[in-house]
Structure formats: structure tokens, C-alpha cells
A and B are shown apart, each in its own frame.
Chain A
């Protein structure tokens, strides 16, 4: 029996995505840019998919640009915005808890002479409105903040960025990394006022290798990949029609956000309750975070050890973020947690398909681990 509780790393394909991709593989292969009928068929389907994804995000279909993944969307948004705005100023505001596909871009921009402000979170991983307001100045050209943190589930107050930018009289573009938020909480640009939003298919039960970037109508950023001018010149390269079909299938299958969130919140509460009965467990996630993610530390047992112990009983979790393979979590560190707590952190992440059974298996695995595993002496 598999208890997959690492849905922040990736999710299994949902039936709708599988079905639509399978049908597509059997019927279509045309290049959407071809002038002939096969090309037209492909482009009609492609535009339909674009519309389905736009619907879920709450934007116009022409504001969706396909990329190869969330990392590419983040890179495109950041470098594209900075290239377009570089004459307006030199200051960029982001946070210390971003994904590496944002942080490593920022590091590069620092080398190129930009001033990058990294906002630090409180001890629960959240960035405060005040910090955002005081960091954004007139010279700021880009504010890039994630909607939901992938390691802790902390929800950042991204709606206040727009006001902060206005207050400062700045022309800054607003980028929101919405990879973990998409489909789970309201990410609508009409609500949060973002100019750029990153989303990815494989976190919502779609295929890997396809992402999208929302670019608000009228906002101009420069492309990273040049070529045949696909995606209105913003991202050249023949569109991955098959994966886009799967992306759209997954997006259109997303259930009512509120209902799904309530159901997951129930699981989250249940897990917290069970964990509170185990001696040595400390929850690192905020109480008001996204219910889909729960991060906690198991005193004296290293993350990787617990992770491998749990996998023996079919429970799959993560130690920090999957992309950082074995390195200490920069997110937990920025929250000021002790090394002991960082080294023993476990991240559990649910999907709408998670069940109480999964949690029971997890909890009994953790209890068993505390009984059997040799504790670290440091």
C-alpha cells in the first residue's frame, strides 16, 4: 500500500489528464504553427487548453504563456521583467524563503549589479505586510514573492504588494510564484494585483515538463528563449501540445477550491492532533498556513533517516524540499530554527486524494521510528 504524502514535490496524474493525453496521442500530432489543416487543428486544441487554464487562474486566455516548467516561468518572469525595467531603477524585493528557481536568479542579478532585498520571515515562515511596505521604494523595479511557501505552507500577504508599490510611487512589476498555491487557494490576479504569476502542471496532478506564466495584458517583459516566435514571441519553441493537453485536463478537473481545502484542513487538523500526542514532535508550519502542507521536526532523528524509515511502510514524505537533495533547508534556517530542528524536519504534503488512512499510516510510522531508530547525539 502506498501512502503518498509528498504532493508538494509532485503529484500523480489524475484520470482526466491521463485520458486527455492518451486521446491526444492517438489523434493529433500537428505543429500548431503549421498553416495546413493539421496545424490548425492543433492550434485550436492548444487555444482551448489555454482557455481552460486561464479559467482556473481567473484571467483572460491571452494572458497565459506556456513554458516548460515552474522554474522556467520564474526565470522568464524575473529576468524578463528586469530586462524590460532596468532603466527605471536598480532595486528588487524578494524573500529569503523563495524557491531556488527564484533565489538563484536573484543571486545572478546581484552579480550583475542589482540591489536585491531579501525579506526574512517570522518564526512561522510568514513574511509580514510591514516588511513588504518598508522594503518597496520608488526605485524598485520588481517585487517577487511566493504566494505559498513550499516547505512550510506559510501563506504570504501577496495582496498587499500592489498597495506597497503604489504607496512608494514605484513602477515595479509584481511577480508571484504561485506553483504551490494554484488550484489550492485563490490566486486570481484580479484579487492579488500581480503582473506575473508562475504556475505548474505537475503540482496539480498534471504532467511534468509543462508550466505557464501569467502576464497581465499590457505588461511587457523580454523573452529568455528566442526562435520561431511562438507564444507571441515570449517563449519560442514548438508548444508541447501533448503536455499542455494534460495540463488543461488537470486544471479543468480541479474541484471547488474551498470545499477541497476544507476537506484537506480536516486531515491537517487530524494529523496535528495525532502529532501532539507524540513526545518529541514540534510543528514548524504556521497555524494559519495552507492546509496542504505540514512541516514538523522529530527530535533527535535526522530527516533522511525518518524518511527512509517511513518509506519501508509505504509512507512517502519529504525532508525539506525535494529540489535541495540533502542540503539544509534555507527556508527553515531563515525562520531562525535551531540546527537540531532543521536536521530533523519532515514535510508532509496532502492532495485532494489524501485520506485518513494515509495519516494513520504516517503517524504509526513515526511512533515506530521513535521507538526503533537510534537517536542522533548531536
Chain B
């Protein structure tokens, strides 16, 4: 049986360092929520508090409406996969999978049947008698996932399980985790500092910074409509352009006469110096006679990235360097070309400060 996981005002400090500050979050049954943030933002601490490896200074953690804080780690019914390879080195794959079931005194027949199911689930049926050092890192993490599922946990916690794997295996195991999580329907908290990983795997993302939640939302919402400057910068690439806000709908690039529209971004902005945080794909190269307000610039670098290519364009007369992203098919420019760029500020964010 799974249940809704809820953190309520959880705070945790290590000496003077505040790892979690009034952390409140809930994860629904069957949902995969990712805690995303830089190292030291408190995401692993949140996970370790839920797992019972750390005691919070205040607040509560509950599963299915019942507080679990009074339970020791081994009684919480939580499965966990760790960043480092955590398989017991002296046990075979089968023995590792059986470990939790032995603790629960499950009969040998049931254990064998369950091990068979799990090996099939993680597609490692042929490796049951191998020791951890005899299988690859990716396979080890899949066994670790199966081992965590073996005890039919109420909640699954994944603490950067892909960080020790190389790029190709990482994508493979990531997809495998998503498939298995969907099949098992267990509420899952996934911790990572890799925004691409978070965007690919999550139902929802919780972006964290210095122990606090910056934004919680679906991956596309977090990416397209970042709530804070931190989220805009941490999730995906962003151009940071100095502007001068002239009205609630108009602004001017700093040091440039051309006005641009800032309809949505400028809703809550005051007048004066500010910074426009805009995704590279929201900046387009347009024809000089385009109806949209645009500014002239020169292509300084072209970065080929497979399906997508980016160009760094220096805006004439200002020295501003703006990154433009488009499909490789459309990006037919060379370094030194003179181009015109327009800003689609619909999803851009305005930050105070600047020149």
C-alpha cells in the first residue's frame, strides 16, 4: 500500500548551516517528484529526513496522513536507492534482492517468486548469481532499485541514483527507472542536481535553493515560466539582458534606442533599471523588415548541438551578447553575419537591478 507523502514545515540545521527551512511539500500516490537544486541546497537532507537517517529540528513528515517521525529508519517502510553503489558486496544479486524479505521472514518460496519477478522487471534475469563487482554500474543501480522495491515500500526515495553512471548508461537507466516507477505506482522522490534529468523523468519538479523551495510545478511549467530568477538560471539556459523599463509594456535595451515589448514579464516591474531573463529559444533571428520590434547585431559564435544550434549575437552599439537557439535546419548563419533579433517576452522574467 502506498500513500501520499507530506513534509510539513520541516527545518533542519547542521551547526550554523540551515539545510532545510520550513520545508513543506506533498507527493501524491504514484507520482514521481524530483527535488532539483545545486549541491548543498538541502535536497538530500529532505530525503534523509524522510528515510529516518536524519531527525528534523522541527516540522513533521507523514505518509498516508500518519506521522512517521517517531519510527526508526528500519520501520518506515521506505525503499531507497543511493548515489553510491549500495549493493552488499558479499552477496549475489539474488541474495541482495532477498535481504529485505529475509528481514521480514518471508518464506523461501515467496522470496524466490518475488526475486524472479523483480529480475524480470529490471531485465536482469540472467545475472541472478553474479556478485556486484561482476556487473556494470548501470546494472548495479537497477538491482539496487529492484532491491528497494522487493520489500514493497510505501514510498521510494532515489538519491541521485544516476550520478555515478556515464552519460549513455545514465539515460538508459533513467528511462528504466521511469518505466518501473510507473509500473509499480509508488510515490517516488527523486533527487538530482541535473536539470535535464529532472525535466525528463518527473511528473513534478521542486526546485530548491539554500534549504528553501523556489518553485514546484510540472517540468514544462518550471522551464517555461520560472517563478524566480534562481529557477530561470538553474533550469535551462537563460540570457540576462540589462534593460530600462519604460512602462508596464515597454522597455529599452540598456545603451540602445530600440524599444521592446515586455507585456507579461513587465506586469509587476517598476520603472527603471532591470534585467530581462529570457530563454535562448525565445529570442529569434528575424528579417530586417519584420513587423516585430527588433535590433541589429553580429553573429559572434555558432555552437552546433545536433538537432538544435545556438548562436551568440552581439547587439550593435551595446556589446550585449545574446544567445539565440533554433533548429539546426533554420540556423543558416555564419560568424560575422549581420542579423536582426526579436524578443518574445511572453515567458521571460524581469529581475530588479542592473545598470
B is a partner of A: no
